[in-house]
């Protein structure tokens, strides 16, 4: 189960890195308006401020594995929405919703992890492995994006996030939990993903013009 859980999150994180790299360029291409970069940043950061506690309450009431699957399915839907739309405001709404569901997914994953890996030493080992594999995937995604964006559209690159999230979902479906209901105290401080658009925005725009 631990290997499936690890594989699930590594695929998920790999798709996220493609998303991080490409979403800035997609929004900028749609609008050609630098102001939209500020709105994009707000669309990404506001959910963490507005809905984190509510999402924590929702995940606390649901089965951990079920909530993880639900939030990742919702992420796939809004990502498809970004691919299909040509309206920048619809895309920004999808970015906002994607981040809401991503926070829910992260919370649910942490709870599933505590469910599957209950020994503290094994949990520390699992977190180290996850961090290592996620860092490797991030390093591989950077040159992959620089190569891919020369040959395919940015929305096609975003499709890779959808693909990796779907693969992650298949791995999650195969996970069997003990139905141990983890509490927020068991998990400890929540480390939600944060993405700083300042430096990344400049980097992506530079790459897109290169």
Q: For residue 207, give every residue at least 6 positions away whose Cβ sits within 8 Å of its Cβ, in sequence order, or none.
A: 145, 146, 149
30/39 Cα distance (integer angstroms): 13
208/210 Cα distance (integer angstroms): 6
Nearest to 181 by CA among 56, 72, 68, 60: 60
pLDDT, one tens digit per residue, over 20-54 is: 889 988 998 898 888 888 888 888 888 888 888 88
Given pLDDT bands bounded at 50, 70 and 90, which one contains residue 196?
very low
With contact defined as beta carbons under 8 Å apart, do 4 and 113 qualify? no
Rg (CA), the chain: 17
Q: For the chain, how are helix, strand and coil distributed in percent, rounded to 5?
A: 80, 0, 20
Residue 124 sits at φ, ψ, to 5 deg, of -65, -40
- Burial class of residue 73, CB neighbours in 10 A (0-12, 13-18, 19+): middle
- The DSSP secondary structure of 83-121, one letter per residue, reads HH---HHHHHHHHHHHHHHHHHHHHHHHHHHHHH--SHH
Given pLDDT bands bounded at 50, 70 and 90, which one contains residue 139?
confident
With contact defined as beta carbons under 8 Å apart, do 145 and 161 qualify? no
Q: What is the pLDDT of residue 179?
A: 53
Given pLDDT bands bounded at 50, 70 and 90, which one contains residue 187?
very low
Q: Maximum Cα–Cα distance for the chain, whole Å?
A: 51
Element (H, E) at 160: helix 154-173
Please say if the pLDDT value at position 192 is more than 50.
no
| Triad 62, 68, 73: Cα angle to 5° | 115
* Mean pLDDT to the nearest integer, 174-201: 52
């Amino acid at each position: 189960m631990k290997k499936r859980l690890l594989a699930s999150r590594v695929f998920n994180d790999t798709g996220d890195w493609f998303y991080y790299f490409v979403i800035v360029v997609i929004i900028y291409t749609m609008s050609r308006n630098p102001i939209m970069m500020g709105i994009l940043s707000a669309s990404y950061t506001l959910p963490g401020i507005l809905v984190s506690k509510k999402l924590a309450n929702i995940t606390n009431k649901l089965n951990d594995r079920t909530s993880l699957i639900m939030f990742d399915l919702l992420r796939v839907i809004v990502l498809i929405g970004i691919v299909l739309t040509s309206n920048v405001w619809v895309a920004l709404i999808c970015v906002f919703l994607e981040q809401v569901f991503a926070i829910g997914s992260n919370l649910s994953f942490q709870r599933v992890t505590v469910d599957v890996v209950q020994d503290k030493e094994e949990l520390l080992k699992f977190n180290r492995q996850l961090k290592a594999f996620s860092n490797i995937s991030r390093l591989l995604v950077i040159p992959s994006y620089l190569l891919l964006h020369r040959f395919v559209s940015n929305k096609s690159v975003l499709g890779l996030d959808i693909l990796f999230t779907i693969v992650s979902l298949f791995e999650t479906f195969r996970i069997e939990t003990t139905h141990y209901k983890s509490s927020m105290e068991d998990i400890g401080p929540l480390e939600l993903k944060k993405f700083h658009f300042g430096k990344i925005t400049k980097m992506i725009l530079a790459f897109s013009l290169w």
